[in-house]
Amino acid sequence: MKKHLILAAVVAAVSLPAAAVEPREDVEVTAGAVTALSCAIEAFKTGDLSILGSGCPMAEVKSGLVIVDVAERQIYVPTAKKIARYQLESAFGGGSIDFDGVVKSVSKAGVATVDVGEFTVNKKKKAGGFKGCL
């Protein structure tokens, strides 16, 4: 019974609405997950964060990629000025992105459009890429 209460508390904490950010607010994201908007919304709604990784179908990616800050429960849409789509795609499905920027606007759903300043893309690891000793 106690295990179910803990699990329910974790699911409730993860599925809370996005943290409130305001236009012109400076943001800094470390290890943001790159995924499709519909997958990010579904992950927060259900509390299943595995959707953010490789659980997002490629058909959803065609609509655009977003950056998810899991710690702050915030979804960011980067403007195309600084980060190219191919750079976001290289982090999709297991990589991450670190960036700082300024919020341009926030939708009614709480999704923030951000002008990205400095950023670093941590590409997803390729299958079989580990060549070290075991």
Q: What is the pLDDT of residues 102-130, one digit of tens each?
A: 999 999 989 999 999 999 999 987 776 66
Number of structural domains the chain divides into: 1
Q: pLDDT for 25-34, tens place per residue? A: 999 999 999 9
Q: Which residue range(s) make up the domain with 60?
A: 18-122
Rg of the chain over Cα atoms, rounded to whole angstroms, equals: 16
Domain assignment present for 13: no
With respect to residue 2, please indicate whether it lies within any of the assigned structural domains.
no
pLDDT by position in tens, the chain (length 134) = 443 333 343 444 444 445 579 999 999 999 999 999 999 999 999 999 888 877 788 888 888 899 999 999 999 999 878 888 899 999 998 889 999 999 999 999 899 999 999 999 999 877 766 666 66
Single pTM value for the model: 0.78
Evaluate whether residue 8 is within a structural domain.
Answer: no
Cα distances (angstroms) measured from residue 58 to each of 41, 76, 93, 128: 16, 19, 10, 22
The CATH number that applies at residue 72 is: 2.40.50
| Beta bridge mates, 105 | 113
